[in-house]
Amino acid sequence: MTQHGYSAAYKQLIRLLERLEVIVMSHQQAAIGQSAPAGRFPISLFSLTAGAFAIGMTEFVIMGLLPNVAQDLQVTIPQAGQLITSYAMGVAIGAPILALFTNKLPQKLLLCLLMVLFILGNAISVIAPTYTILMGARIVTALAHGTFFGVGGVIAMNLVRPERRAGAISVMMAGLTIANIMGVPFGTFIGQQLGWRASFGAIVIMGIISLIGILFFIPRVQQEKSAGIVQQFRALIQLLLMLLVGALGSGSLFTVFTYITPLLEQVTGFSEHYVAWILVLFGFGVTFGNIIGGKLADWKLMPALLGNYAALALILIIFNFTVHLPAAAVITIFIWGAAAFGILPGLQLRIMTMAKDAPMLASTSNHSANNLGNASGAFIGGWVITHMGLTYLPWAGALLPIVGLILGLVSYRLDRKVKQR
Protein backbone atom coordinates (compact mmCIF):
# COMPACT_ATOMS: atom_id res chain seq x y z
CA MET A 1 0.00 0.00 0.00
CA THR A 2 1.30 3.46 -0.90
CA GLN A 3 1.78 6.31 1.55
CA HIS A 4 -1.34 7.95 0.10
CA GLY A 5 -3.26 4.73 0.69
CA TYR A 6 -2.18 4.56 4.36
CA SER A 7 -3.18 8.22 4.82
CA ALA A 8 -6.61 7.62 3.30
CA ALA A 9 -7.18 4.52 5.46
CA TYR A 10 -6.19 6.48 8.60
CA LYS A 11 -8.61 9.31 7.73
CA GLN A 12 -11.42 6.82 7.08
CA LEU A 13 -10.79 5.18 10.48
CA ILE A 14 -10.95 8.56 12.25
CA ARG A 15 -14.20 9.44 10.41
CA LEU A 16 -15.70 6.08 11.39
CA LEU A 17 -14.82 6.56 15.06
CA GLU A 18 -16.21 10.12 15.01
CA ARG A 19 -19.50 8.86 13.51
CA LEU A 20 -19.74 6.17 16.18
CA GLU A 21 -19.10 8.82 18.82
CA VAL A 22 -21.92 11.00 17.46
CA ILE A 23 -24.31 8.04 17.59
CA VAL A 24 -23.28 7.23 21.14
CA MET A 25 -23.42 10.85 22.29
CA SER A 26 -26.99 11.13 21.04
CA HIS A 27 -27.96 8.44 23.56
CA GLN A 28 -26.15 9.88 26.58
CA GLN A 29 -25.94 13.23 28.36
CA ALA A 30 -22.54 13.22 30.01
CA ALA A 31 -20.46 16.13 31.10
CA ILE A 32 -17.10 16.50 32.74
CA GLY A 33 -17.34 16.83 36.48
CA GLN A 34 -20.87 15.47 36.57
CA SER A 35 -21.05 13.83 39.96
CA ALA A 36 -21.90 10.19 40.47
CA PRO A 37 -24.00 9.02 43.42
CA ALA A 38 -22.38 10.00 46.71
CA GLY A 39 -19.24 8.00 47.48
CA ARG A 40 -19.14 6.37 44.04
CA PHE A 41 -17.03 6.85 40.95
CA PRO A 42 -18.77 7.34 37.57
CA ILE A 43 -19.25 4.20 35.47
CA SER A 44 -17.24 5.82 32.67
CA LEU A 45 -14.13 5.46 34.86
CA PHE A 46 -14.49 1.68 34.81
CA SER A 47 -14.16 1.68 31.02
CA LEU A 48 -10.58 2.83 31.64
CA THR A 49 -10.20 0.07 34.24
CA ALA A 50 -11.22 -2.49 31.60
CA GLY A 51 -8.63 -1.11 29.20
CA ALA A 52 -5.94 -1.23 31.90
CA PHE A 53 -6.93 -4.85 32.62
CA ALA A 54 -6.45 -5.84 28.96
CA ILE A 55 -3.11 -4.01 28.79
CA GLY A 56 -1.96 -5.68 32.02
CA MET A 57 -2.75 -9.08 30.53
CA THR A 58 -0.83 -8.48 27.31
CA GLU A 59 2.20 -7.14 29.20
CA PHE A 60 2.57 -9.95 31.72
CA VAL A 61 0.93 -13.09 30.27
CA ILE A 62 3.90 -13.71 27.96
CA MET A 63 6.06 -14.45 31.03
CA GLY A 64 4.17 -17.66 31.71
CA LEU A 65 4.18 -18.71 28.05
CA LEU A 66 7.85 -18.29 27.07
CA PRO A 67 8.56 -22.05 26.72
CA ASN A 68 5.45 -22.50 24.55
CA VAL A 69 6.33 -19.53 22.33
CA ALA A 70 9.97 -20.61 22.03
CA GLN A 71 9.02 -24.16 21.00
CA ASP A 72 6.37 -23.06 18.48
CA LEU A 73 8.53 -20.40 16.79
CA GLN A 74 11.73 -22.49 17.07
CA VAL A 75 13.77 -19.99 19.06
CA THR A 76 15.58 -20.27 22.39
CA ILE A 77 13.95 -19.22 25.66
CA PRO A 78 16.39 -16.25 26.02
CA GLN A 79 15.35 -15.14 22.51
CA ALA A 80 11.70 -15.47 23.47
CA GLY A 81 12.51 -13.41 26.58
CA GLN A 82 13.44 -10.53 24.28
CA LEU A 83 9.71 -10.23 23.53
CA ILE A 84 9.39 -8.90 27.10
CA THR A 85 12.35 -6.56 26.73
CA SER A 86 11.13 -5.18 23.39
CA TYR A 87 7.70 -4.49 24.89
CA ALA A 88 9.23 -2.58 27.83
CA MET A 89 11.41 -0.54 25.48
CA GLY A 90 8.41 0.20 23.26
CA VAL A 91 6.62 1.65 26.28
CA ALA A 92 9.68 3.50 27.55
CA ILE A 93 10.82 5.09 24.29
CA GLY A 94 7.97 4.95 21.78
CA ALA A 95 5.03 5.95 23.96
CA PRO A 96 6.22 9.50 24.85
CA ILE A 97 7.02 10.16 21.19
CA LEU A 98 3.52 9.01 20.18
CA ALA A 99 1.97 11.14 22.95
CA LEU A 100 3.95 14.16 21.80
CA PHE A 101 2.64 14.01 18.23
CA THR A 102 -0.98 13.09 19.05
CA ASN A 103 -1.65 15.64 21.80
CA LYS A 104 -3.81 17.81 19.53
CA LEU A 105 -6.29 14.99 18.82
CA PRO A 106 -9.51 14.98 20.88
CA GLN A 107 -8.78 12.82 23.92
CA LYS A 108 -11.69 10.43 23.50
CA LEU A 109 -10.84 9.90 19.83
CA LEU A 110 -7.18 9.31 20.73
CA LEU A 111 -8.21 6.78 23.37
CA CYS A 112 -10.29 4.92 20.77
CA LEU A 113 -7.43 4.96 18.25
CA LEU A 114 -5.07 3.58 20.90
CA MET A 115 -7.43 0.71 21.65
CA VAL A 116 -7.74 -0.02 17.91
CA LEU A 117 -3.92 -0.11 17.76
CA PHE A 118 -3.88 -2.37 20.82
CA ILE A 119 -6.42 -4.77 19.27
CA LEU A 120 -4.51 -4.78 15.98
CA GLY A 121 -1.18 -5.56 17.66
CA ASN A 122 -2.63 -8.46 19.61
CA ALA A 123 -4.54 -9.77 16.58
CA ILE A 124 -1.25 -9.87 14.65
CA SER A 125 0.27 -11.75 17.61
CA VAL A 126 -2.44 -14.40 17.27
CA ILE A 127 -1.51 -15.18 13.66
CA ALA A 128 2.20 -14.23 13.68
CA PRO A 129 3.99 -16.92 11.63
CA THR A 130 7.51 -15.91 12.68
CA TYR A 131 9.40 -14.61 15.69
CA THR A 132 10.22 -11.33 13.90
CA ILE A 133 6.56 -10.57 13.15
CA LEU A 134 5.59 -11.37 16.73
CA MET A 135 8.33 -9.02 17.94
CA GLY A 136 6.96 -6.24 15.71
CA ALA A 137 3.40 -6.88 16.95
CA ARG A 138 4.58 -6.60 20.57
CA ILE A 139 6.26 -3.25 19.86
CA VAL A 140 3.08 -1.94 18.17
CA THR A 141 1.04 -2.99 21.20
CA ALA A 142 3.55 -1.35 23.56
CA LEU A 143 3.02 2.03 21.86
CA ALA A 144 -0.64 1.87 22.87
CA HIS A 145 0.25 0.90 26.45
CA GLY A 146 2.10 4.00 27.63
CA THR A 147 -0.01 6.52 25.73
CA PHE A 148 -3.26 4.88 26.93
CA PHE A 149 -2.31 5.49 30.54
CA GLY A 150 -1.17 8.99 29.65
CA VAL A 151 -4.45 10.14 28.10
CA GLY A 152 -6.45 7.84 30.40
CA GLY A 153 -4.96 9.53 33.46
CA VAL A 154 -5.95 12.97 32.14
CA ILE A 155 -9.51 11.79 31.42
CA ALA A 156 -9.80 10.04 34.80
CA MET A 157 -8.86 13.29 36.59
CA ASN A 158 -11.50 15.20 34.64
CA LEU A 159 -14.27 12.70 35.40
CA VAL A 160 -14.29 13.47 39.14
CA ARG A 161 -14.09 16.38 41.55
CA PRO A 162 -10.57 17.74 42.29
CA GLU A 163 -10.45 16.18 45.76
CA ARG A 164 -10.96 12.68 44.29
CA ARG A 165 -8.47 12.77 41.43
CA ALA A 166 -5.86 10.43 42.93
CA GLY A 167 -8.66 7.99 43.79
CA ALA A 168 -9.86 8.10 40.19
CA ILE A 169 -6.35 7.32 38.93
CA SER A 170 -6.12 4.41 41.37
CA VAL A 171 -9.41 3.00 40.03
CA MET A 172 -8.02 3.10 36.50
CA MET A 173 -4.72 1.54 37.62
CA ALA A 174 -6.66 -1.18 39.48
CA GLY A 175 -7.13 -2.81 36.08
CA LEU A 176 -3.38 -3.59 36.04
CA THR A 177 -3.43 -5.09 39.53
CA ILE A 178 -6.56 -7.16 38.87
CA ALA A 179 -4.93 -8.42 35.68
CA ASN A 180 -2.05 -9.74 37.79
CA ILE A 181 -4.39 -11.52 40.21
CA MET A 182 -6.92 -12.96 37.76
CA GLY A 183 -6.16 -12.11 34.14
CA VAL A 184 -2.56 -13.32 33.88
CA PRO A 185 -3.15 -16.72 35.60
CA PHE A 186 -6.29 -17.22 33.47
CA GLY A 187 -4.48 -16.20 30.28
CA THR A 188 -1.56 -18.49 31.12
CA PHE A 189 -3.97 -21.38 31.73
CA ILE A 190 -5.66 -20.79 28.35
CA GLY A 191 -2.28 -20.65 26.65
CA GLN A 192 -1.10 -23.87 28.23
CA GLN A 193 -4.31 -25.70 27.36
CA LEU A 194 -5.15 -24.27 23.90
CA GLY A 195 -1.82 -22.85 22.75
CA TRP A 196 -0.19 -19.49 23.42
CA ARG A 197 -2.01 -17.85 20.50
CA ALA A 198 -5.34 -18.43 22.28
CA SER A 199 -4.14 -16.21 25.14
CA PHE A 200 -3.66 -13.30 22.75
CA GLY A 201 -7.05 -14.08 21.21
CA ALA A 202 -8.63 -13.65 24.66
CA ILE A 203 -6.80 -10.31 25.02
CA VAL A 204 -8.22 -9.17 21.65
CA ILE A 205 -11.73 -9.86 22.99
CA MET A 206 -10.93 -7.85 26.14
CA GLY A 207 -9.66 -5.00 23.98
CA ILE A 208 -12.89 -4.96 21.94
CA ILE A 209 -14.97 -4.89 25.13
CA SER A 210 -12.88 -1.98 26.42
CA LEU A 211 -13.25 -0.08 23.11
CA ILE A 212 -17.04 -0.46 23.25
CA GLY A 213 -17.05 0.78 26.86
CA ILE A 214 -14.97 3.82 25.92
CA LEU A 215 -17.27 4.65 23.00
CA PHE A 216 -20.45 4.40 25.08
CA PHE A 217 -19.44 5.68 28.50
CA ILE A 218 -16.48 8.08 28.20
CA PRO A 219 -17.83 11.63 27.66
CA ARG A 220 -16.31 14.01 25.14
CA VAL A 221 -13.59 15.85 27.03
CA GLN A 222 -13.41 19.62 26.84
CA GLN A 223 -9.74 20.06 26.03
CA GLU A 224 -7.64 23.00 26.99
CA LYS A 225 -5.49 24.55 24.29
CA SER A 226 -2.54 22.24 23.63
CA ALA A 227 0.91 23.52 24.42
CA GLY A 228 3.52 23.56 21.68
CA ILE A 229 6.22 20.90 21.45
CA VAL A 230 8.87 23.25 22.91
CA GLN A 231 6.62 24.11 25.87
CA GLN A 232 5.91 20.44 26.47
CA PHE A 233 9.60 19.55 26.52
CA ARG A 234 10.28 22.45 28.90
CA ALA A 235 7.55 21.19 31.24
CA LEU A 236 8.96 17.66 31.01
CA ILE A 237 12.48 18.80 31.95
CA GLN A 238 11.07 20.28 35.16
CA LEU A 239 9.68 16.83 36.01
CA LEU A 240 12.88 14.84 35.55
CA LEU A 241 13.52 14.68 39.29
CA MET A 242 10.07 13.21 40.03
CA LEU A 243 10.36 10.83 37.08
CA LEU A 244 13.61 9.56 38.61
CA VAL A 245 11.83 9.16 41.94
CA GLY A 246 9.21 6.99 40.22
CA ALA A 247 11.85 4.92 38.42
CA LEU A 248 13.58 4.23 41.75
CA GLY A 249 10.30 2.98 43.23
CA SER A 250 9.70 0.63 40.29
CA GLY A 251 13.35 -0.43 40.32
CA SER A 252 13.05 -1.37 43.97
CA LEU A 253 10.07 -3.60 43.23
CA PHE A 254 11.68 -5.44 40.31
CA THR A 255 15.07 -5.82 42.02
CA VAL A 256 13.37 -8.30 44.34
CA PHE A 257 10.19 -9.37 42.54
CA THR A 258 11.98 -10.56 39.37
CA TYR A 259 13.73 -13.19 41.49
CA ILE A 260 11.03 -13.79 44.10
CA THR A 261 10.50 -17.43 43.08
CA PRO A 262 14.11 -18.60 43.68
CA LEU A 263 14.23 -16.43 46.82
CA LEU A 264 11.16 -18.10 48.32
CA GLU A 265 12.16 -21.59 47.20
CA GLN A 266 15.87 -21.56 48.03
CA VAL A 267 15.96 -19.23 51.05
CA THR A 268 12.51 -19.44 52.69
CA GLY A 269 11.98 -23.10 51.74
CA PHE A 270 8.60 -23.00 49.99
CA SER A 271 7.74 -25.48 47.24
CA GLU A 272 6.81 -24.27 43.75
CA HIS A 273 3.11 -24.92 44.44
CA TYR A 274 3.06 -22.63 47.49
CA VAL A 275 4.99 -19.89 45.71
CA ALA A 276 2.18 -19.59 43.15
CA TRP A 277 -0.36 -18.93 45.91
CA ILE A 278 1.96 -16.51 47.68
CA LEU A 279 2.16 -14.51 44.44
CA VAL A 280 -1.65 -14.42 44.30
CA LEU A 281 -1.60 -13.01 47.85
CA PHE A 282 0.98 -10.46 46.70
CA GLY A 283 -1.47 -9.47 43.95
CA PHE A 284 -4.20 -8.84 46.53
CA GLY A 285 -1.75 -6.68 48.47
CA VAL A 286 -0.99 -4.75 45.28
CA THR A 287 -4.69 -4.07 44.67
CA PHE A 288 -5.27 -3.03 48.29
CA GLY A 289 -2.26 -0.72 48.25
CA ASN A 290 -3.30 0.88 44.96
CA ILE A 291 -6.73 1.84 46.32
CA ILE A 292 -5.47 2.99 49.73
CA GLY A 293 -2.62 4.90 48.09
CA GLY A 294 -5.14 6.82 45.99
CA LYS A 295 -7.18 7.76 49.05
CA LEU A 296 -4.12 8.88 51.00
CA ALA A 297 -2.86 10.95 48.05
CA ASP A 298 -6.24 12.71 47.84
CA TRP A 299 -5.89 13.50 51.54
CA LYS A 300 -2.26 14.79 51.61
CA LEU A 301 -0.43 14.23 48.33
CA MET A 302 3.30 14.71 49.03
CA PRO A 303 3.31 13.66 52.71
CA ALA A 304 1.48 10.46 51.72
CA LEU A 305 3.83 9.80 48.80
CA LEU A 306 7.00 10.38 50.84
CA GLY A 307 5.61 8.33 53.72
CA ASN A 308 4.94 5.50 51.29
CA TYR A 309 8.57 5.52 50.10
CA ALA A 310 9.75 5.40 53.72
CA ALA A 311 7.37 2.51 54.43
CA LEU A 312 8.57 0.63 51.33
CA ALA A 313 12.20 0.91 52.41
CA LEU A 314 11.35 -0.18 55.97
CA ILE A 315 9.34 -3.20 54.80
CA LEU A 316 12.18 -4.42 52.57
CA ILE A 317 14.64 -4.03 55.45
CA ILE A 318 12.30 -6.15 57.59
CA PHE A 319 12.04 -8.67 54.73
CA ASN A 320 15.78 -9.29 55.08
CA PHE A 321 14.98 -10.98 58.39
CA THR A 322 11.50 -12.43 57.78
CA VAL A 323 12.57 -14.12 54.52
CA HIS A 324 14.00 -16.91 56.69
CA LEU A 325 10.66 -17.42 58.51
CA PRO A 326 7.89 -18.82 56.24
CA ALA A 327 4.84 -17.38 58.02
CA ALA A 328 6.44 -13.98 58.59
CA ALA A 329 7.67 -13.91 54.98
CA VAL A 330 4.12 -14.38 53.64
CA ILE A 331 2.79 -11.50 55.76
CA THR A 332 5.70 -9.27 54.73
CA ILE A 333 5.13 -10.01 51.04
CA PHE A 334 1.47 -8.94 51.29
CA ILE A 335 2.44 -5.65 53.00
CA TRP A 336 5.29 -5.15 50.50
CA GLY A 337 2.87 -5.45 47.57
CA ALA A 338 0.58 -2.86 49.16
CA ALA A 339 3.45 -0.42 49.77
CA ALA A 340 5.00 -0.90 46.32
CA PHE A 341 1.80 -0.10 44.43
CA GLY A 342 0.48 2.45 46.93
CA ILE A 343 3.03 4.82 45.41
CA LEU A 344 1.57 4.84 41.90
CA PRO A 345 -1.64 6.97 42.17
CA GLY A 346 0.07 9.74 44.14
CA LEU A 347 3.12 9.75 41.87
CA GLN A 348 0.93 9.98 38.76
CA LEU A 349 -1.11 12.84 40.22
CA ARG A 350 2.00 14.69 41.41
CA ILE A 351 3.63 14.52 37.98
CA MET A 352 0.49 15.53 36.10
CA THR A 353 -0.15 18.43 38.50
CA MET A 354 3.40 19.73 38.09
CA ALA A 355 3.22 19.58 34.28
CA LYS A 356 0.17 21.74 33.62
CA ASP A 357 1.44 22.57 30.12
CA ALA A 358 1.76 18.90 29.14
CA PRO A 359 -0.24 16.59 31.47
CA MET A 360 -0.64 13.81 28.90
CA LEU A 361 3.04 13.75 27.96
CA ALA A 362 3.98 13.87 31.65
CA SER A 363 1.65 10.99 32.49
CA THR A 364 2.97 8.92 29.58
CA SER A 365 6.57 9.71 30.54
CA ASN A 366 5.81 8.54 34.08
CA HIS A 367 4.92 5.09 32.75
CA SER A 368 8.03 5.14 30.57
CA ALA A 369 10.20 5.96 33.57
CA ASN A 370 8.55 3.17 35.54
CA ASN A 371 9.31 0.68 32.75
CA LEU A 372 12.93 1.80 32.67
CA GLY A 373 12.93 1.30 36.43
CA ASN A 374 11.55 -2.22 35.95
CA ALA A 375 14.33 -3.13 33.52
CA SER A 376 17.01 -1.53 35.71
CA GLY A 377 15.69 -3.29 38.80
CA ALA A 378 15.86 -6.68 37.11
CA PHE A 379 19.46 -5.93 36.07
CA ILE A 380 20.44 -4.78 39.58
CA GLY A 381 18.87 -7.89 41.10
CA GLY A 382 20.79 -10.13 38.71
CA TRP A 383 24.04 -8.34 39.57
CA VAL A 384 23.38 -8.74 43.30
CA ILE A 385 22.69 -12.48 42.92
CA THR A 386 25.86 -12.99 40.85
CA HIS A 387 28.22 -11.03 43.11
CA MET A 388 26.60 -11.22 46.55
CA GLY A 389 23.89 -13.90 46.67
CA LEU A 390 20.10 -14.23 46.83
CA THR A 391 19.84 -13.21 50.48
CA TYR A 392 21.10 -9.69 49.70
CA LEU A 393 18.22 -8.89 47.32
CA PRO A 394 15.95 -7.23 49.94
CA TRP A 395 18.86 -5.03 51.09
CA ALA A 396 19.41 -3.84 47.51
CA GLY A 397 15.67 -3.35 47.06
CA ALA A 398 15.51 -1.21 50.24
CA LEU A 399 18.33 1.08 49.12
CA LEU A 400 16.48 2.36 46.02
CA PRO A 401 13.37 3.78 47.79
CA ILE A 402 15.67 5.44 50.34
CA VAL A 403 17.32 7.33 47.48
CA GLY A 404 13.84 7.99 46.03
CA LEU A 405 12.71 9.38 49.41
CA ILE A 406 15.67 11.79 49.54
CA LEU A 407 15.05 13.03 45.99
CA GLY A 408 11.32 13.31 46.71
CA LEU A 409 12.05 15.49 49.74
CA VAL A 410 14.30 17.69 47.59
CA SER A 411 11.49 18.08 45.00
CA TYR A 412 8.96 18.87 47.74
CA ARG A 413 11.18 21.54 49.32
CA LEU A 414 11.93 23.15 45.96
CA ASP A 415 8.21 23.25 45.19
CA ARG A 416 7.41 24.88 48.53
CA LYS A 417 10.13 27.51 48.05
CA VAL A 418 8.65 28.44 44.67
CA LYS A 419 5.17 28.81 46.19
CA GLN A 420 6.48 31.01 49.01
CA ARG A 421 7.96 33.58 46.59
3-state SS, residue 41: coil
Which sign, positive or negative, has the C-alpha torsion 348, 351, 355, 361? negative
Whole-number Cα distances in Å, 390 to 81, 263, 320, 382: 22, 6, 11, 9
CB-based burial label for 159 (10 Å; 0-12, 13-18, 19+): buried
CB-based burial label for 306 (10 Å; 0-12, 13-18, 19+): buried
Are the C-beta atoms of 388 and 193 separated by less than 8 Å?
no
Are the C-beta atoms of 111 and 333 separated by less than 8 Å?
no
Closest CA to 13 of 85, 94, 154, 117: 117
Task: List the beta strands (DSSP E) in 288-375.
Answer: none
Tens of each residue's pLDDT in the chain, 421 residues:
555 655 665 566 556 555 655 554 444 444 444 445 555 778 888 889 999 999 988 887 887 777 788 889 998 877 887 787 788 888 888 878 887 778 778 888 889 999 999 999 999 999 999 999 999 999 989 888 888 888 888 888 888 888 788 888 888 888 887 887 777 677 778 887 888 999 999 999 999 999 999 998 888 766 555 555 555 555 556 678 888 999 999 999 988 887 888 888 889 998 877 887 888 888 889 889 988 998 898 888 889 999 999 999 999 999 999 999 999 999 999 999 999 989 988 888 888 777 766 677 777 788 888 888 887 888 888 888 888 988 999 999 999 999 999 999 988 888 777 666 6
At 128, the amino acid letter reads: A
CA angle 181, 187, 188 (to 5 degrees): 95
Are the C-beta atoms of 255 and 402 separated by less than 8 Å?
no
Helices 107-127 and 3-25: crossing angle in degrees, nearest 10, is 120
In the structure, how many helices (H) and strands (E) does the chain have? Answer: 18, 0
Whole-number Cα distances in Å, 217 to 19, 109, 115, 375: 15, 13, 15, 35
**231 CA to centre of own chain:** 26
pLDDT value for 32: 42
pLDDT value for 159: 84
Q: Which domains does the chain have, with CATH numbers?
A: 43-217 (1.20.1250.20), 229-420 (1.20.1250.20)
pLDDT value for 16: 59
